[in-house]
Structures are given as structure tokens and as C-alpha cells.
Amino acid sequence: MRKRYCSIEITRILMVLFYQPICTTMVTYNTKTFQHIHWQAGRANMSFREETSKAESQAKGARSQIVRGFTMMVIEKSVT
């Protein structure tokens, strides 16, 4: 049990020592890839916004048609 605990501590120390430099090198190595992915995500977000605005305008049109039909129905009911 004591030996296992010691090995766990050693691996924890090694992880702490090597984690930071490995992370920084990975980030500097992958910066261009990250930027490319970010750019693609931005483009996708723009197209998603365009689609959303289209859908919103269609929903507004449908809503106004529904309201118009409902008011016409109410007027017809009140007339008869």
C-alpha cells in the first residue's frame, strides 16, 4: 500500500512538472488550427444567424396571417 501511494505521488509530481510546458507547446503548435476552426465556426454562426432571421421573418408573416384570419372570423361572427 505504501509503495503504491508513493508511485501515485511521483506520477502526480511529474504531471504537475510536465503539464504546463506540454500545454503551452500544444497551444503554440495548434494556434493556426484553432484560428482556422474558430473562423469556420464564425462562418457557420453567420449562416445560422441568417437562417434564424429568415425563419423569424417567415414566422412573423405566418403570425400576421393568423391574426388577420382570426379577426376576419371574429368580424364575420359579430356581423351574423
pLDDT at 58: 79
Residues sharing a CB contact under 8 Å with residue 27, sequence separation 6 or more, in sequence order: 34
Give the integer Cα–Cα distance in Å for 31 and 35: 6
Q: Is the pTM of this model over 0.85?
A: no
What's the total number of domains in the chain? 1
Q: pLDDT at residue 64 above 60?
A: yes
d(Cα 46, Cα 34) in Å, to the nearest integer?
18
For residue 72, what pLDDT is reported? 83
The 10s digit of each residue's pLDDT in 10-61 is 777 777 666 666 656 556 555 666 666 666 666 666 667 777 777 788 778 7
User: What residues make up the domain containing 33?
Assistant: 1-79
Amino acid identity at 8? I
- How far from chain centre, in Å, is Cα 52? 14
In this prediction, residues 62-76 reach a mean pLDDT of: 81
What does the pLDDT read at residue 57? 80
